[in-house]
Chain A
Amino acid sequence: MRYRSVLAVPALVSLALVAACSGGSSGGGPTAAASAPPTVTGTIQFWHFFTDREADVIQGVVDDFEKANPGVKVEVKSGQDDQKMRQAISAGQPIDVGLSYSTDQVGPLCSSGDFVDLTSFITRDKVDLDQIPQTVRDYTQFDGKRCTMPALADVYGLYYNKKLLQAAGYTQPPKTLAELSDMAVKLTTYNKDGSIKQLGFMPLLGYYENAEAHWAPSADAKWLNEDGTSAIGSSPGWPVLLQWQKDIVDRLGGYAKLAKFQAGLGEEFSAQNDFQTGRVAMNLDGEYRTAFIADQAKDLDYGTAPFPSAQGYESTYGGGYITGNIVGIGKGSKNPEAAWAFIKYLTTNTDAQVKLSNGLKNVPTMHDAIVSPQLEVSEQFKTFLDIFENEHSSTTPPSAIGAEYQTIFGTHTAKWQQGKVDDLSAMLKQVDDEIDAAVKLQGGS
């Protein structure tokens, strides 16, 4: 009898664990008090992914917040990966404020309830969301639930080497993809063995920031329908973009030649970046590149412009791809009022936004910060502020399957750019089918 009890110990522990860990519930979570407390107090835990110099910039804003709110102590956990943060929140750790680097996480974070709905706080404190462009408002909520606020944004545009363009007889960057192709061909030089020596523009997806998502605004290409299913096969923009890519790949000597050139690329965030070394004359990149160039290639004479538009979409010129950092309150927060006060400071206080932008060289998400005289704006950086507020700028929509829909599309475009796809329509249809199957599976059927 006694030894049966001994055996029962581990079994009971196991059962208890099963019961305890069988998943929680997304219902509820902290909500705003009826009226905002006059002062906030207590300790909050703040997780973010920044490290080194960038973590110091964040710490500077945290210090300012603590100074303005002497009753609050912010415990900062820097260098935390998104997945790690999400696992910690899911496991019930009391993470009050979490800052994520990926808007692809908005869907999972909102739908799972890991980040709580901020609507009650926003409504109570009458936060003016009109300060934020619609695209950014869209990517920070999911399925009608605003569980995140935008902290800072990354904006993508075209970088061009002025010296190389002038040598080829150009004084202006391209405004259409056709012009980009012509200029890329003229700016490309070859070695004696036929290999590429200097490339005008690299059209292969996967090269640095060349991604379907970053090209999409050029042809107003759509990703998802309202119901979360794939819109790729029915969006006229995608065939336009992919046919343009095929054309420029052929004109530059074909996939194999470009792939060989790509194989010798320099690491993206090092001084060996191909654009910074002059190996490529024009490149798609984010606004943060201006900081890298200032640090690693001070003598580079370069300009920035919106990424060119596709044929038939010329009116969209000026827009570009936007993404950014998002911040929300973890479902296990023990001090949601202080957490919200910090998020509000981080995302809506003009001085905080300007300080973050000046330090990180990302685009502030509030209009007041963008027009602030304290914002350090170089000629090249100004381009990205304009793209950010352009009505034609767009982003990848949040989805319950995260970035899986982009991954699925990417597996097919990889074959397309190698010339392994004969029927583009059939390929896009298959992309739709695969994405819809994943969405359906995530939905529970």
Chain B
Amino acid sequence: MASAIRRRRTVTAYLFCTPALLGMLVFFVFPLVMTVYYSFTSFDLSNAPRWNDFANWKFLFGQDPLIGKAALNTLWFVAILVPVRIAGAMLVAWALTRARRASGALRTVYYLPALVPPVASTIAFVFLLNPATGPVNRLLAAFGIHGPGWFTDPAWAKPALVLLGLWVLGDIMVIFLAALLDVPTEQYEAAELDGANGVQRFWYITLPNMAPVLVFALITGIIAALQYFTEPAVASATAMGKSSVGAGTSTLLGWPDESTLTYGQLLYSKAFGANLFGYASAMAVVLFVVAGLATAVLLRRFRSLTPEVAS
């Protein structure tokens, strides 16, 4: 009798889960399986895929002349852009908790850029940082500083994108702000009574309390950086004086000098520019594996910081 009830409950549970499971299968598992399959084929989107063994994989790991550059650029963004944005968002959020006046207005001001569509914000930034006509270099010149070429200089194009990333940090800043305001004040009071200084309070109270949101920001930031596409693609096109991106993505790749060529852009170019959908699928599988591994490692590494484990 008891087992019959249990079975009925299980069936009911599965029935409730079915819509979600269907969604997962159709929009995640199925594309994933097909992508892995296509990575072993020559595929042009229209004709049936032709099995080509490991040709795509051999090309990926031995023959593609741009894959190394694209991977390194992408890792650069993971290593620099993500921590800089997190640190910047933390700083702004902390400063906002200290604001005595107009805190609501200030929060709005710092959050607003995150609402600007990435294409628009990138175009605006390219114009602001135009080395010849942009206001930023004119301002620097007023102080006797010879401004860099920003998006037109291979050495400065990536840092310019980091600046853009800092400007639109409102999305994680608002989460940090909520987490900061959630830290129990009595913990700070107790620490103060024990003689802890500001750094110690931050390190031993603020940081552990914010660990879950920090891990969240880090994981989502890394995944986003691994897929970084829109901003560098638009920046390249705009800095070259082109008004369109989609039409000539292949010819604008990573300009200047492949400095902003990311893995995502190369993948798109190989699929829709070179008609190498099988190869692009192999690239997508690698990206998925890297993102999955990074997420797993981070979750494992920071597990001890989460309140559940700490308690």
Contact = CB atoms under 8 A, between A and B. Distances in A.
B258 A441 contact: no
Given A3-B11, A18-B34, A445-B52, A112 B45 contact: yes
Given A21-B34, A83-B246, A407-B251, A10 B21 contact: yes
A406 B246 CA distance: 16
Given A6-B11, A437-B63, A403 B49 contact: no
Interface in A22-59: 22-26
A113 B48 CA distance: 11
Given A402-B273, A442-B274, A22 B48 contact: yes
Contacts of A22: 34, 48-49
A6 B11 CA distance: 8
Nearest to A101: B247
Interface stretch (A161-169, A265-273, A354-362, A372-380): A265-273
Interface stretch (B130-138, B179-187, B219-227, B294-302): B130-138
Contacts of A112: 44-47, 275
B241 A86 contact: no
B80 to A, nearest CB: 23
Q: How large is the interface on A (under 10, 10 to 19, 20 to 34, 35 or more residues)?
A: 35 or more
Interface stretch (B25-33, B98-106, B161-169, B207-215): B25-33
Interface string B38-71: 0000111111111010011001000101100000
A248 interface: no
Contacts of B255: 206
Given A82-B247, A437-B63, A3 B14 contact: yes
A444 B46 contact: no
A108 B275 contact: yes
A2 B269 CA distance: 48
B272 interface: yes
Interface string A253-278: 00000011011111111100000000
Contacts of B149: 259-260, 263
B26 A411 contact: no
Given A18-B33, A266-B241, A401 B275 contact: yes
Contacts of A17: 26, 30
A91 to B, nearest CB: 9
Interface in A392-444: 400-404, 406-408, 410-411, 414-415, 418, 434, 437-438, 441-444
A401 B44 CA distance: 10
Contact of A267 (B25, B42, B44, B241): B241
B96 interface: no
B37 to A, nearest CB: 8
B78 interface: no
A328 to B, nearest CB: 13
Contacts of B121: none
A208 interface: yes
Nearest to B242: A268
Contacts of B253: 407, 411
Q: How large is the interface on B (under 10, 10 to 19, 20 to 34, 35 or more residues)?
A: 35 or more
A7, A23, A102, A403 interface centre (most CB from chain B within 10 Å):
A23
A13 interface: yes
Contacts, number: 170
Contacts of B240: 206-207
Contacts of B238: 267
A131 interface: no
B286 interface: no
B114 to A, nearest CB: 26
B25 A407 contact: no
A81 B273 CA distance: 13
Given A264-B131, A264-B132, A90 B269 contact: no
Interface string A66-110: 000000000000000111001101100000000001100001100
B306 interface: no
Interface in B2-27: 7, 10-11, 14-15, 18, 21-22, 24-26
A404 B276 CA distance: 10
Given A206-B255, A267-B243, A402-B250, A14 B46 contact: no
A111 interface: yes
A294 interface: no
Given A14-B25, A441-B59, A410 B251 contact: yes
A443 B59 CA distance: 13
B152 A262 contact: yes
Contacts of B132: 260, 263-264
16 contacts: A6-B15, A13-B22, A14-B25, A17-B26, A89-B46, A102-B247, A111-B44, A114-B46, A264-B132, A270-B243, A403-B250, A403-B274, A407-B253, A410-B251, A411-B66, A441-B56
Nearest 9 pairs between A and B by C-beta?
A264-B132, A112-B46, A404-B274, A444-B42, A263-B152, A23-B48, A407-B250, A3-B11, A14-B25
Interface of B: 7, 10-11, 14-15, 18, 21-22, 24-26, 29-30, 33-34, 42-50, 52, 55-56, 59, 63, 65-66, 130-133, 149, 152-153, 238-243, 246-247, 250-251, 253, 255-258, 269-270, 272-276, 278-279
Interface of A: 2-3, 6-7, 9-11, 13-14, 17-18, 21-26, 81-83, 86-87, 89-90, 101-102, 107-108, 111-114, 206-208, 211, 259-260, 262-270, 331, 400-404, 406-408, 410-411, 414-415, 418, 434, 437-438, 441-445
